[in-house]
């Protein structure tokens, strides 16, 4: 099990759908979140992509020297830059970061955004292009370790004598991640990707997607890893967690929700449609669980106004940990979380949930090299005892 966090390059806030409680999305804040994730022991961070975000490669590069162990899951978008140039960018980043690059293939699902970037291929042809792009990108990086040139003549892409002189540290290339819900997406994942990601759907739906991708991959003699992208709202009690969820959407109004849903409906992303089907635009400010708790502790309220990943795990630490374990039992290894605001929630999730995760992961995450003191000194004299790493639950450790 590998736990990743998220760098909010499209902005951060305490309240969705309003400027109230908003934060400035700048380098200093991105650095704070990255350093927090690195210090707390997260495996890495996802950096989003799209016209609503800062450029992910620039952001990731700016954070290399601010972090030590943190890996960066950075978007690669077929068609915007040539495969040869993307191979050089990836190899350089991997070398300069000490092998800390993960690649997130993003084909795009917003036609208006794609056309703004000069991409006019329909859904099916985008996947044709992505298939050629990945094959070419992988071959260039693989052959860079021996210095061989590479030729490729496809329907959408052609190169002659493509060569990469400085190979990546990770062999044969940095790991490839990808998420998509259409049959074309599943086929692409089965053929060429290393890890398939899904947005946070109920366990039964996730199990069906995993089974389909796994079966397709077996036809090519391949095996994949699997992961999930979720938000999280965790508090020491279930009541406090749902109160925090209600507060997060407390400034939404029906017009804002309707406007967001109209925009999402124009996209050709199957994954986005599946997110919308979970909440169906329903919002009752007096009961945020009504119609939005689509599975135990799985809340679709974020997707009312946020595109992409639109569900959150909501509950006390044990409930959240149990839901994570349920997904892990389906074969999921990577868990990419985020929460509002991202800086505070990264600490809250680590402090409350990390101690409840499987032992081998817990031992790695609970910072064994720290020697204290831990917490604030009491009355200027008394050092607070450290909470045991294997504690069953922080709330149960409070002495009456």
- Let me know if residue 96 belongs to a domain: no
Per-residue pLDDT of the chain (400 residues; tens, 9 = 90+): 999 999 999 999 999 999 999 999 999 999 999 999 999 999 999 999 988 899 999 999 999 999 999 999 999 999 889 999 999 999 999 999 999 999 999 987 677 777 787 777 777 788 898 999 999 999 999 999 999 999 999 899 999 999 999 999 999 999 999 999 999 999 999 999 999 999 999 999 999 999 999 999 999 999 999 999 999 999 999 999 999 999 999 999 888 988 888 888 888 788 889 998 998 888 898 999 999 999 999 999 999 999 889 999 999 999 999 999 999 999 999 999 999 999 999 999 999 999 999 857 766 665 545 555 667 767 666 777 665 544 444 443 333 3
Candidates 279, 395, 282; CA nearest to 348 is 395
The whole-number pLDDT of residue 395 equals: 41
- Let me know if residue 161 belongs to a domain: no
- Let me know if residue 264 belongs to a domain: yes
Q: Provide the CATH number for the domain around residue 240.
A: 3.20.20.30
The whole-number pLDDT of residue 359 equals: 59
Sort strands 44-47 and 2-6 into parallel, antiparallel or unpaired: parallel
Candidates 16, 153, 11, 4; CA nearest to 67 is 4
- Let me know if residue 184 belongs to a domain: yes
CB 34 within 8 A of CB 6: no
The whole-number pLDDT of residue 400 equals: 35
Round to whole Å and give the CA distance between 230 and 235: 16
Q: Residue 45 is part of which domain span?
A: 2-76+175-372
The whole-number pLDDT of residue 393 equals: 43
Q: Tally the domains of the chain.
A: 1
User: What angle is formed at CA 29 by the lines to CA 50 and CA 256, rounded to 5 degrees?
Assistant: 50
The whole-number pLDDT of residue 266 equals: 80
First to last CA, the chain: 34
The whole-number pLDDT of residue 63 equals: 98
Round to whole Å and give the CA distance between 252 and 203: 28
User: What angle is formed at CA 295 by the lines to CA 292 and CA 300, rounded to 5 degrees?
Assistant: 30
From residue 146, alpha-carbon distances to 61, 100, 120, 137 in Å are: 26, 22, 36, 15
Bridge partners (DSSP) of residue 22 are 13
The whole-number pLDDT of residue 398 equals: 35
- Let me know if residue 322 belongs to a domain: yes
- Let me know if residue 92 belongs to a domain: no
- Let me know if residue 228 belongs to a domain: yes
- Let me know if residue 389 belongs to a domain: no
The whole-number pLDDT of residue 262 equals: 87
The whole-number pLDDT of residue 348 equals: 97
Instruction: Spell out the residues 6+ positions from residue 184 whose beta carbon is closer than 8 angstroms to its own.
Output: 123, 124, 127
- CB neighbourhood size of 169 (10 A): 14
Bridge partners (DSSP) of residue 44 are 4, 71
């Amino acid at each position: 099990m590998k736990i990743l966090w998220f760098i909010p390059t499209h902005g951060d806030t305490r309240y969705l759908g309003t400027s109230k409680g908003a934060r400035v999305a700048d380098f200093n804040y991105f650095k704070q979140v990255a350093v927090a994730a690195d210090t707390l022991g997260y495996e890495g961070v996802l950096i989003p992509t799209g016209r609503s975000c800062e450029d992910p490669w620039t952001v990731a590069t700016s954070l290399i020297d601010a972090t030590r162990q943190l890996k960066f899951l950075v978007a690669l978008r077929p068609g915007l830059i040539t495969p040869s140039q993307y191979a050089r960018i990836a190899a350089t980043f991997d070398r300069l970061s000490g092998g800390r690059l993960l690649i997130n293939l993003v084909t795009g699902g917003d036609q208006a955004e794609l056309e703004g970037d000069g991409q006019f291929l329909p859904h099916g042809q985008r996947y044709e292009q992505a298939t050629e792009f990945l094959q070419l990108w992988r071959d260039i990086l693989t052959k860079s370790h021996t210095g061989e040139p590479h030729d490729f003549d496809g329907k959408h892409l052609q190169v002659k004598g493509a060569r990469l002189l400085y190979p990546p540290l990770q062999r044969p290339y940095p790991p490839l991640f990808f998420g998509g819900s259409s049959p074309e997406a599943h086929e692409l994942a089965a053929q060429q990707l290393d890890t398939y990601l899904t947005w946070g759907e109920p366990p039964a739906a996730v199990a069906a997607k995993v089974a389909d991708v796994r079966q397709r991959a077996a036809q090519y003699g391949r095996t994949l890893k699997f992961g999930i992208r979720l938000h999280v709202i965790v508090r020491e009690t279930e009541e406090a967690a749902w109160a925090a969820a209600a507060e997060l959407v407390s400034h939404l109004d029906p017009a804002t929700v309707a406007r967001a849903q109209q925009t999402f409906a124009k996209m050709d992303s199957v994954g986005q449609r599946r997110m919308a089907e979970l909440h169906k635009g329903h919002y009752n400010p007096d009961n945020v669980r009504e119609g939005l708790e689509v599975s135990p502790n799985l809340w679709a309220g974020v997707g009312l106004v946020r595109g992409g990943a639109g569900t959150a795990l909501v509950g006390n630490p044990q409930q959240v940990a149990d839901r994570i374990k349920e997904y892990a039992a389906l074969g999921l290894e990577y868990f990419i979380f985020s929460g509002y605001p991202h800086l505070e929630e990264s600490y809250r999730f680590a402090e409350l949930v990390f101690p409840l995760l499987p032992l081998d992961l817990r031992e790695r995450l609970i910072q064994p090299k720290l020697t204290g003191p831990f917490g604030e000194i009491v009355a200027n004299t008394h050092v607070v005892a450290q909470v045991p790493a294997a504690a069953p639950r922080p709330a149960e450790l409070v002495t009456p």
